[in-house]
Structure 1
Amino acid sequence: MLVKDIAHTDVVTVEVETPIVDVARTMRDERVGSVVVVDGKGVVAGLLTDRDLVVYGLAGDRPVGDLVANDIFSTNVFCVAPDDGITEVVDKMHDEGVRRIPVMADGDLVGIVTLDDLLCHLSRELEELADVVRGEFPR
């Protein structure tokens, strides 16, 4: 299976100068745990998570009202392509210790794949395997 088969294409983005209070409201309203941060031209600059908001925003040294996304987002974000295999993505997530990865095609943001997406995919795969086992040993 490929990334494009499980990635969400409705990616929530904010601009680098978005106040973090507005970022938090966007995350709440959109019911997401992260947003992709883009520059003024729409180019991916990084990723900002709910954990970043707490650890670097609320618990930081500067007043929250003075902070914008650019002050606290993660810039060491790597991306995957829609045609990358799920196994490759799992390996990358494990190696990098991340839970979310933007999906890029030809330099454009086309989706995001999360640990939750992978777990849901895996649970479906395991259920299909369990069906095979149940079919072999009727009760």
Structure 2
Amino acid sequence: MLVRELMTTDLVTAPIETDMQRVAKRMLNARVGSIIITSDGTPTGIVTESDALRVGYAADKPFSAVPVQAAMSHPLVTIEPTATVRAATNRMVDEEIKKLPVVSELELHGILTMTDIIRAHSDLLKEARTIEQGRGLHDPDDWQPSEE
């Protein structure tokens, strides 16, 4: 299964000049856990709920006085829409992230989240079984010891 088949395309973005008050408001209104930060239309960073909490605690001042650059994670870790979901999950594990913007040639196409992957879990398992069967591999539950 490819990333483009699971990614969310309804994105929330904000320009890099935005303050954290506006970012938090957009995230709350859109009911999302992250917002992609852009610079001249190019994705450059991401602010997650955890990033917002961290900067809110550390800054000890109103969000309206905190620039988004202080909270955003960058450089942005991305994946191509044509990558496999397996490659994406490996990247998420390696980078210790839960949200992976989908970018091709600096154009933002969507975002793949752990929630997207969990929702597609049964479809991913079916695909893995089909691949295993095509390779002549068998379901471990079907294994029977030989009578030698």
**Alignment TM class, shorter chain as reference:** 0.7 to 0.9
- 1:117-137 deviation line (CA, Å, top 9, x unaligned): 0111114445897xxx9xxxx
TM-score under structure 2 normalisation? 0.79
Which shifted more, 117-126 or 13-22? 117-126
Other structure's SS at 1:60 match: helix
Give the CA RMSD over aligned residues.
Answer: 1.8
In 2: Cα distance, 1:126 partner to 1:83 partner: 19
Which residue of 2 is the match for residue 116 of structure 1? 115
1:55 aligned residue: 54
What amino acid maps onto 1:6 in structure 2?
L
SS at match of 2:69: helix
How many residues matched?
128
CA distance in 2 between partners of 1:120 and 1:8 (Å): 12
Question: Distance in 2 between the 1:123 and 1:18 partners?
Answer: 39
| Deviations 1:84-106, CA, capped at 9 Å, x for gaps | 00110011101110000110122
SS of residue in 2 equivalent to 1:59: helix
Q: What is the 5 A alignment of 1:1-139?
A: 1-39=1-39, 41-56=40-55, 58-64=56-62, 65-126=64-125
Tell me the TM-score normalized by structure 1. Answer: 0.84
Larger radius of gyration: 2
- The residue type paired with residue 20 of structure 1 is M
Query: Sequence identity of aligned pairs in percent?
Result: 27
Unaligned runs of 5+ in 1: 134-139
CA distance in 2, matches of 1:81, 1:124: 21
Q: Which runs of 5+ in 2 are unaligned?
A: 130-138, 140-148
User: What's the offset of the Cα at 1:77?
Assistant: 2.2
